[in-house]
Amino acid sequence: MKIIYRGESSFVFSNKKNIIAFNPFAPTDANIVLLGQSGLDKGFSNTKVFSWPGEYEVSGVPIIAIKIPFSDNVIYKFALDEINVAVLDGLTDILPDDILEKIGDVDVLLIHIESMEAANKIHDVVEDIDPRVIIPFGYNEVDLAKSAKEFGCQAEELDSIELMRSTLPVEKERLIVLKKALS
């Protein structure tokens, strides 16, 4: 699975069979589009678009969408190449146990740091989810440095990342900072 950062809260996840776009800025060639806020359909055609809670499967990709309490935002968890990915955008507090249970095991966590730093809860959320790889977005350098220190790991800056189940870290989390892709 390859992950590319498009800026702000937009990411592309791909493998040989599927392209998943999270919060794309414009129409995309992705066969699956996940929108972080419920009800925000940007008029995509020829693709499956999700912006509401539920459990789905598209082209062999299981997707769980969970509404964040007291928010219009949706948490997504999906599996691509046997890697469980969760995207948390718009959190302002720790997650209740019932939502953590629905999320389940997560290998790669993409988390909006800026919204969580306001509540000083990011470390608690990451600790509760216990991912192998953390990919932050929406951060400033001070918040990123603070988060890296709390996680006890050094941030690795990459253009994109390609992951396989066999290459996921076992004992220590990796903090990956993706650079915004130019195209």
Domains: count for the chain: 1
- CATH code, 29: 3.60.15.10
Domain encompassing residue 30: 2-178
Residue 183 lies in a domain: no
- Residue 41 pLDDT exceeds 70: no
Residue 75 lies in a domain: yes
C-alpha–C-alpha distance, residues 116 and 170, integer Å: 26
Question: Hey, what amino acid is at 48?
Answer: K
60: which DSSP letter? Answer: T
Task: Please state the φ and ψ torsions of residue 75, each to the nearest 5 degrees.
Answer: -90, 140
Residue 67 lies in a domain: yes
User: Mind listing the pLDDT tens digit for each residue in 136-170?
Assistant: 998 877 777 777 777 778 889 999 999 999 999 98
pTM: 0.92
pLDDT of 40 reads: 56
Residue 78 lies in a domain: yes
